[in-house]
Amino acid sequence: MSGSRAAGAVFLCACALALGGKNSSYAIVEGTVFRDPGFAVPEAKVTLQARGEAKSKKQEATTNYRGEFEFRVPAVQAVYVVRAAAKGYRPDEKEASITGGGVPGSERVDVNLVLSPESK
């Protein structure tokens, strides 16, 4: 096989794996962290973990300057707990349900969290 044909074959195999491989299916859990009265909280720590699975791998992210975050999760039916925390605020948490199936990346779940100031 010539060099260009071999490279083409490798490229086609890689594309086939990307489109049909078991690990290529994902869903997106995204959202924004706010504080009263609706201002975004930049640099809040956000964690995501499968509900009821204490030993499951926890994902962590930090919100951007607009308070936004995003996680990629397997596109299988599951419920995740999303928790946000920031210095000077009480944490907030909500659940995000993934139904699974569909085109990779097509399922998106929005989670908006609101942090309240800590009592002094």
78 Cβ partners below 8 Å, 6+ apart?
Answer: 50, 51, 97, 98, 100
Q: Where are the alpha helices (DSSP H) in 48-114?
A: none
Asked if the peptide bond before residue 117 counts as cis, ω within 30 degrees of 0, the response is no
Tokens of 43: 């640099």
pLDDT of residue 90: 95
pLDDT of residue 37: 82
Each residue's pLDDT, cut to its tens digit, for the chain (120 residues) gives: 454 454 444 443 444 444 444 446 899 999 999 998 889 999 999 999 999 877 778 999 999 999 999 999 999 999 999 999 999 999 999 999 999 876 666 899 999 999 999 986
Fill in the DSSP letter of residue 25.
-
pLDDT of residue 16: 40
Q: Residue 62: what residue type?
A: T
Q: Among 3.40.640.10, 2.60.40.1120, 3.30.70.890, 1.10.540.10, what is the CATH number of 23-117? A: 2.60.40.1120
Q: pTM score, two decimals? A: 0.75
